[in-house]
Structure 1
Amino acid sequence: MPELPEVEALAQFLREHAVGAVVGRIDVAALSVVKTFAPPVSVLSGCDVTEAGRWGKFLGLRCDGLWLVTHLSRGGWLRWVDEPNPTPPKPGGKSPLALRVHLFTPAAATPAFDLTEAGTKKRMAVYVVAQPEEVPGIARLGPDASTVTEGQFADILAGTAQRVKTVLVDQTLVAGIGNAYSDEILHMARISPFARTNTLDAEKVAELYTAMRAILTDAVQRSVGQDAARLKGEKRSGMRVHARTGLPCPVCGATVREVSYSERSFQYCPTCQTGGKVLADRRLSRLLK
């Protein structure tokens, strides 16, 4: 799933390549992706692209007085196409293409960007709204992880007794962090994913905040400026524990472990984060002794 660094990089990519262009035809290949119907997406045709924005893990383009907003969800992505097929895609096909936006640039080029979604579970969403806050998911967002202050972050943790991992990925508490970067943040802060927020002292909260800002800042710096097609690889290349089950921890050399659920998994280092204990790989999440 694209998280804050990748979505910020996509927003910057659109600022450089789409802002200043005029929206041409919009092809909807997956009818289920469009979550708003008034106004229809077709109303954006002929509009000037004036701005690109990010809200947590939501991405948007301002087209005159309207916003085209998307949440890429788990399997979604944005793909830039310099020479798109002029033939409209057939709705309901097996292609991962969900929506295509044709553009006319000031340089007389006619590129497009595609919103695609891999997998069988289609969760990507597209909205056409006057203000981003009209999107329910954006209206519920907590402070952005890239701008939240240390005091605000401490108050968020103090207001709950949930597991730290759960808090980091809860978009209503802190916006922008997902499964992958929460693994990396907890590893850097040397905190167990199952630690409760009410067990963290002030020093540990400060370390967690510092790790969050460091991980995200580094990831944004590595991602911004990359071609959209290379962002996924750039994300994977910077991971120290996430998606590295069975490999050595780059800090201590211990084997990176995994906890699996029905639709996702997360990784951690027992030596760095749990005092050498291996977390049970089941939903009860009890520590194995």
Structure 2
Amino acid sequence: MPESPEVQALVENLGERLAGREITDVDVVEFRTAKTRARPPTSLRGERVTGAARHGKHVDLHVGDAQHLVVSLGRHGWARYASGAAEASVARDDASTDGDAPPTLVAFTFDDGTVVELTDAGDWVSLGCWVVDEAREVPAVAKLGSDPADAGFTRADFDRVVAGRRKQVKAVLQEQESLAGIGNAYSDEILHLAKISPVAHTASLTEVELDRLFDATVGTIAGAIERQRGVPIDQLKATKVASMRVHGRAGAACPVCGDTVADFSFGGTTAQYCPTCQTGGERLPLRAAE
């Protein structure tokens, strides 16, 4: 799932490449991606892109005088470039037979020949597009909590949504209404850096542990954004995977203590942790209760 560092890098790339460009054509291959039926993506033909922004894990392209194309990448969505409409069509055809090439669900063609394809590699369509006057008209954007990547994010902001809650800390980190932009991968990395068990309730954390958790949250997200900045968008996933210390590395040695990184199930997915660094040597059950 794309998380805020990758989405930020994508937004910066799109903003730099598309600003001032006119949308000359829109091909909605999968109608279920259009969430504002009265204002589908095709309504943006003839408009120019004026900028780009990120809201949590959402892309926000500023179009025309006061329109926003908000894209939720969902669980397996992403964007890619093709150099022309013919190549975009070929890419869609290849996607049907090449398991490594996710299908194009929406394609935007610009006046310089650039084609931006929105893709989804999942078994079900999780990609969504809204055309709105304000990004907050998208319900998921309106509900977003504070973003740890924001320069104004403070310890008070963090404590307000984390401290004292009777909920497992990994679930809180991934709760978009509390902290925007963090998903399964970076929550694993944050908790490993903070040396906190993913299944500990935040109400049980000491002040020292909360200090470590705050520093790890801000530091991990800020560091990942800086690391991803300028990376070509087709290489962002690989760069993310290569940077992980514990996430996705079950069976490997912890880079801190040398213990074996372990799996546990959480919220319908698989997460990773270090027993020595995070749980006092305890092995979490593969199926953890939330």
Same topology, TM > 0.5: yes
Pairs within 5 Å for 1:35-184: 35-64=35-64, 65-85=66-86, 94=96, 96-104=103-111, 109-147=112-150, 148-158=153-163, 160-184=165-189
How far 1:150 sits from its partner (Å)?
0.9
> CA separation in 2, counterparts of 1:196 and 1:36?
39
Q: Structure 1 regions of 5+ residues with no counterpart?
A: none
Distance 1:261-1:164 versus aligned 2 partners, 3 A rule: closer
- Are the counterparts in 1 of residues 84 and 109 from structure 2 also a CA contact under 8 Å? no
Pairs within 5 Å for 1:270-285: 270-284=275-289
Deviates more, 1:250-259 or 1:142-151: 142-151
Q: What's the counterpart of residue 215 of structure 1?
A: 220
> CA separation in 1, counterparts of 2:9 and 2:40?
27
> CA separation in 1, counterparts of 2:108 and 2:213?
40
Paired residue type of 1:98: L
How far 1:260 sits from its partner (Å)?
2.5
Paired residue type of 1:100: A
Identity score, percent: 39
List per-residue Cα deviations over 1:247-268 (Å, max 9, x = no partner). Answer: 0001111000001358411000
Residue 68 of structure 1 aligns to a residue in which SS? strand
Paired residue type of 1:220: I
Deviates more, 1:126-135 or 1:147-156: 147-156
Deviates more, 1:154-163 or 1:124-133: 154-163
Question: TM-score, structure 1 length as denominator?
Answer: 0.92
Q: Which has the higher helix share?
A: 2
Question: TM-score, structure 2 length as denominator?
Answer: 0.92
> CA separation in 2, counterparts of 1:129 and 1:59?
13
1:229 equivalent in alignment to 2:234: yes
How far 1:159 sits from its partner (Å)?
5.2
List per-residue Cα deviations over 1:170-223 (Å, max 9, x = no partner). Answer: 000110100000000000000000011001122211110101111111111111
Deviates more, 1:35-44 or 1:163-172: 35-44
Residue 85 of structure 2 aligns to a residue in which SS? coil
> CA separation in 2, counterparts of 1:14 and 1:76?
15
Q: Provide runs of 4+ in structure 1 moved above 6 Å.
A: 86-91
> CA separation in 1, counterparts of 2:241 and 2:189?
11
> CA separation in 2, counterparts of 1:40 and 1:74?
22
How far 1:82 sits from its partner (Å)?
2.1
List per-residue Cα deviations over 1:98-129 (Å, max 9, x = no partner). Answer: 1001111xxxx311110000121211111111
Q: What's the counterpart of residue 26 of structure 1?
A: 26
How far 1:87 sits from its partner (Å)?
7.8
How far 1:160 sits from its partner (Å)?
2.0
How far 1:133 sits from its partner (Å)?
0.3
Q: What's the counterpart of residue 7 of structure 1?
A: 7
Aligned alpha-carbon RMSD (Å): 1.9
